[in-house]
A and B are shown apart, each in its own frame.
Chain A
Amino acid sequence: MILNFELSDDLRKQICLSEREEIYYSLPIDIDGQSRYTRDSFLVVSNTKIYVIMQGALERTLAIADCSEAKSHAHVGQGLLTVVHKGTLTVIARYTHGHMGRYAYVARGINILASGRTEHVESNEYEASCPKCGRAIPGTAKCPYCNGENRFASTLKKVAKPYIPQFIGIAVLMVLASVTTLVNPAIQRYLVDNVLLEKEPSKPLAFMCLGGMFLMSAGIVFVNVAKSFYSTKLGARISMDMRNSLFEKLQKAPLSFINDRRPGELLNRVVQDTRVIREFMENSFCNLFTVAFIFVCDVIFMLYINPKLALLSFIPAPFVVMLTVAFRKSIHRRFHLQWHKNDDASSNLQDVLSGMRVVKSYGNEKHEAARFLKYSNEYCRVQTRNECFWAIFNPMLSFLMGAGVFVVTCFGGRDVLLGDMTKGQLVQFMTYTSLLYQYLNWMTQLPRQLTALISSLERIDDILAFDRIPDRENGTVKTIKGQVDFKKATFGYRSYKPVLEGIDLHVTPGEKIGIVGPSGAGKSTLINLLMGLYEADDGLLLVDGTDIRSLDRKSFHSQLGVVLQETFLFSGTILENIRFARPDATYEEVIAAARTANAHDFICRTPGGYDTYVGEKGYNLSGGERQRIAIARAVLANPSLLILDEATASLDTESEYLVQSALSKLTKGKTTFAIAHRLSTLKDCDRLIVIDGHRISEMGSHEELIAAKGLYYELLTAQLQMQKRQEG
């Protein structure tokens, strides 16, 4: 995201920078004080001052030293940047949503400058529209339309490289296909001129010509089949390669890369964008060179046979192309509308069907039926109109496509009558003309397909080119004792919106820490940092005195045990699921782990024992059973650092008891971080920390926190009261 827009020289002159002043950020302001759109207005932040330029004139200058608490507020349709200036909250800029993200970053930048530091804030977020061409960018770092051409070629080269022999093979087939297509009319001409029109047609020669034509026609079929077969195969191979490299990249990329994108988007890139490439290979690529080759040869042959006639037959071509394009555009619009209406009707149906209980219980059937009828009628109307349009204009278009042939028949016929051209040549010429128009039609579809391909390639390349992958493969391998230190750790999923700020915490090996706080306060975020899923934006996180970033990923994670609220079991057997942490564990070890986790008994009761298939389509385990498998997993890993995130939150009382007792066996002597809403489950903890307002607000033992009568005390009394009410 751009945080420093280019200022024109005129605007630059407005702000007289002093000697040691440098512009840090400059953002457009696009709403003025009268709530109207405005131009040439900017917010400029230097290291010491904030300048507000409205419509080309400097309106306000604030010294950053007088400012604090800069904040970007998201309101409906607009954002406000406010600062506390000399103790008074004041609005300094208004902007539309397109700049909201930028202002949030700059607000953070101003706060950093106000606190006396000088670092720049940078944004890794992508632009929504291309600053150069103004088009919407399909969720990628670079605009595919602006850099498309070059990158397209380079990406294509990268993709095609391992398959050069296959490409050459297909190219040969393409040339063969064009040759057979082009030779056939020549044989026809020979048949007409030199055989049929002779006074005494020679039968053997006629049969030879027929044989030749048959061979060519049959040959074309074979060549086309082979060509399609190999193109399809190659397309499937290339798209498979891309899917694999995408998947590999996604696994390596940090979680933030995945979380930054809308759900489904990455799935689409792996599944749909690779499909676009395959389809292009199948439908367009295999004909691309054939068509180009035939087209060029076709034109040359026509010019060679009869230049005048050739030029005449080209005359309708531009009109036909224009009309086809216009027709297709109109068809596209019409059918898009139809699709829209269909969508309306079906989503209304979906709505009513899934809410049937509500509809029936309120007796609203008639009303809903009327609504559906309306959508349905609307769809019917559009559909009828479109089909009529299609029925009327499609034949007209076909007629136009044949226009070239009419011209040729008319003027060519005259030439034949005048003796300037043989009859056979006319036949050949007419075939070439129809070929020309046929391929012309095909070629007009190409730009659209190419754009879809470029867009897909860009989206794929965007992931493949992502290079900010933390390299922890070569980190330190060491046995962890379990000492954890947070030092002024700050983190936010969006870097402008901190979830945790300045966390300081020292945990000795073997200590049990309970984490408490309201929802959304950052408890799980703290744990995510500890698990190494995210890296702190600021400050340090040390494990046994070593920066977590310099630890070897694999070795660190193998010493980490995790039990989350919802345990995810992979499709596979119970055995495989327990062994997930240590695939080489023996049966004895697995059974011992399951016993410790209070899981052995219920596993024995399942029909397949440890071989019972669980997961998405497998045997249904209860929540408590899943948790105990997760605990068995953790026991097997024998970690020195344990993380329990609401491990017993969604369980009934009996399962909770079983899980709780399994957990207490597991956590013995290990550094443990446990999050819980139900505070009673944290009574064994050595120390409790309360997270509130992005910070650790209270820390101490259960008794100490009760004595302090802070948030913990409030939460505890609230829960006790609720319990009493439930019991009473």
Chain B
Amino acid sequence: MEQKTLTYFESSGGFLGARAGEEEYTRVRAVRLFPFSDPDKYISIRVGSETGEELTVIGDMADLDPEQRKFIERDLELNYFIPVINKVISIKDEYGHAYFHVMTDKGEVKFTINMSGTNVTKLSETRLLITDINENRFEIRDVRALTPPEQRKLDLFL
């Protein structure tokens, strides 16, 4: 893999910019290669807003210096929004749809999923990815960490 040494900065509009020697890119995008299994490793840095040419792949975010890392994390926040559910308040199923009311790391939210089809994907035995009717995604990191009543509510989807 051809790697360029890049320095990152925040461009005037609040986006991620990168400098490679003489060259300067005012807008680059950080793309996770393993968004679920290893979100902080293997970050592809690509030119432009529509994920153009790849400039480099950051092997591990931990290797970056804290300030540089912050810039990239900020861009990742703009690119990914997958709330993690940590409390199930209620699930109501009615005529083919399930109505969720949950607490996530991003705040409280209600959403609806279609019961038919594959809207609840098992990433592993205990990890779920839920896609709602609008294609928002929600993650449950560890089903077993939920209380037994919460798990029973989820029973239909496990």
Contacts and interface: CB of A to CB of B under 8 A. Distances in A.
Bound pair: A and B? yes
Contacts of A337: 155-156
Contact of B133 (A35, A128, A451, A455): A128
Nearest to A329: B93
B135 interface: yes
Contacts of A451: 95
B107 interface: yes
Interface stretch (A72-80, A152-160, A586-594): A72-80
Interface in A92-129: 94, 96-98, 100, 128-129
A88 interface: yes
Nearest to A38: B107
B77 A97 contact: no
Given A452-B95, A455-B95, A89 B15 contact: yes
A269 B108 CA distance: 36
B70 interface: no
A100 B80 CA distance: 14
Nearest to B117: A343
Contacts of B145: none
A75 B15 contact: no
B49 interface: yes
A137 to B, nearest CB: 9
Contacts of B95: 451-452, 455
Contacts, number: 90
Interface in B71-106: 77-83, 93-97, 99, 104, 106
Given A37-B106, A336-B156, A91 B80 contact: no
Nearest to B15: A89
Contact of B108 (A37, A80, A129, A455): A37
A36 B112 CA distance: 19
Q: From DSSP, what is the main secondary structure of chain A's interface residues?
A: mixed
B41 interface: no
Q: In this complex, which of A36, A77, A128 has the most chain B Cβ atoms within 10 angstroms of its Cβ?
A: A77
Contacts of B13: 82, 88-91
Contacts of A340: 156-157
Interface of A: 31, 35-38, 73, 75-78, 80, 82, 88-91, 94, 96-98, 100, 128-129, 134-136, 138, 333, 336-337, 340, 451-452, 455
27 contacts: A31-B81, A35-B77, A37-B106, A38-B107, A73-B49, A75-B80, A76-B35, A76-B79, A76-B137, A77-B80, A77-B82, A80-B78, A82-B13, A90-B13, A94-B78, A96-B81, A97-B132, A97-B136, A98-B136, A128-B133, A128-B134, A134-B99, A134-B110, A136-B96, A136-B133, A336-B156, A340-B156
Interface of B: 11-15, 27, 35, 49, 77-83, 93-97, 99, 104, 106-110, 112, 114-115, 132-137, 155-157
